[in-house]
Each structure stands twice: as structure tokens, then as C-alpha cells.
Amino acid sequence: MTGGRELLWDGCVNVRDLGGLGQVRPGAIVRMEAPDRLSEAGWAAAWAYGVRTVVDLRNADECGPDRAPRPTGITTVRAPLDPVGTPFYEHWEKIDNLGSPLYYPALLAEHPEPVIAAVRAIAGAAPGCVVIHCAGGKDRTGLLALVLLTLAGAAPEAIIADYLLTYDRMKQRYDELGARDQLTAVTEVLASHDTTIEASLTSTVASLTMPGFLLGNGLSEPELATLRNRLLA
């Protein structure tokens, strides 16, 4: 159930507000796949919803041209979440191509800096709704959403349900690419490591002390206060 959180922005299929999960207020944070395919009407809907900042979690070489121009009042902030070129990345690329929740705890422990940079981009954004996205809106977006939702006191069950929605919403896109069913593929990867999507996400949430994780990795008290003012009802 999405409780009316799903948004219909023409051109994209995986757009939803995090409001109503934990203490997150509606209109604060929207998660989605890359907005490159938004039509002019889609961007107009995003603007009308209050979007003024887009935080892009992709690497530079993943970014292509937009189908329609972004409104001039929307600021795009690049905050790549994958530590490309590191031993960590090379290790996890072989395990799950950084395409499942399996790598979340290791990234949070070994490379918290890009996560904090993305959180800082949200905290410091101009007034208005903030969109967070990667390519498919699943794992990098899912990891950042997990961090924000844990701070906001969302139950693990709600975080898991929100994460799983993307597999259904993006199925048509993956089918168009001729890709294997992603839920089946990721489930099998986790099973080979004796866990499940649900267990992996639950474990990550349980290990994430808030706001200690943010403050202990460089977010300042004023930034935390600003973030809470933006996110929380």
C-alpha cells in the first residue's frame, strides 16, 4: 500500500512521496527513477508539486540528455553515491553489481562520506520539495531513503515495503531492456548469501543509530536541525 503517495508525472513510472512514512511530512522528499524521461507535462507536474531541488545520485557517465527541459527554477545537485574506483566498489561489483541491499551495511560503514554529502545536499536545498534519484530509483535511492526514513522513525516494515515497490513499478522498463526479472535476480543473489531482501534491510535499519550515524560522520548539529525541519511533520 502506498497510501496515496504515488505521483503521476508523465514519462516516469516510479515516483512517490516519502511523506507519511515515520514522521516524514508530505511534500518534503520524493524518490524516483532518473527524471530524464519526464515530458514537459511531467516537469510541469513536478514544479506544481513544489519540487525546487533534484539530488542526482548517479555517476557522471550515467547522465544523459533530458527528454524535455527542466524548469529554470529547479536546481540539480550531483551527489554520486557509489565510490567508483575504490577497492570497495570493485569488490561489490563482483558480488551484486551494487544492485541489492546486500552492500548497504558495508557502504555505510566503509564509505559514509557520499551518503553524508547527499544528506547535506538535502538539508541545504532551497525551500521546496527535494527529489532524490539514481538510475532506476531502487538501490542508491533506496539506501538514501532508508537513512532518511530511519532518522524519521519509520518502522522497518514500512521501509521494506517502500523499497519493494520499485521492482513492480520498474518492471516494464526492465522488460523493455530485455533484462531479467529484477526481483527474482536480487532474491537469488541474497539467497546465495543466506539472507533475504527483508532480512537484509531489517538488519541495516537495526544497525543504523540515529542521529549518531549522521553526526559521527561529519554532519553538523545545525545541518541536522535543518534536515529535521525539512523532513519532519
Closest to 205 (Cα-Cα) out of 165, 148, 130: 148
Decide if pLDDT at 3 tops 70: no
Strand, helix or coil for residue 76:
strand
Strand partners, 29: 130
Model confidence over 41-74: pLDDT tens digits? Answer: 999 999 999 999 999 999 999 999 999 999 999 9
Position 2 scores a pLDDT of 56
Which amino acid is it at 163? Y
Task: Write out pLDDT tens, residues 19-40.
Answer: 999 999 999 999 999 999 999 9
CA separation for the pair 142, 94 (Å, rounded):
20
Q: Domains plus CATH for the chain?
A: 16-228 (3.90.190.10)
Q: What percent of the chain has pLDDT over 90?
A: 94
For residue 135, the one-letter residue type is: A
Question: What was the pLDDT predicted at 155?
Answer: 97
* 8 pLDDT higher than 80: yes
Let me know: does 21 contact 120? Beta carbons within 8 Å: no
Assign 1 a pLDDT band (cuts: 50, 70, 90). Answer: very low
In this predicted structure, the answer to whether residue 140 has a pLDDT above a threshold of 80 is: yes
DSSP 13-79: S--EE-TTSTTBPTTSEEEES-GGG--HHHHHHHHHHTEEEEEE-S-GGG----SSPPPTT-EEEE-
Q: How many CA atoms lie within 13 A of 5 on its CB side?
A: 23
Q: What is the pLDDT of residue 22?
A: 98
Range with lowest mean pLDDT among 2-16, 20-34, 132-146: 2-16
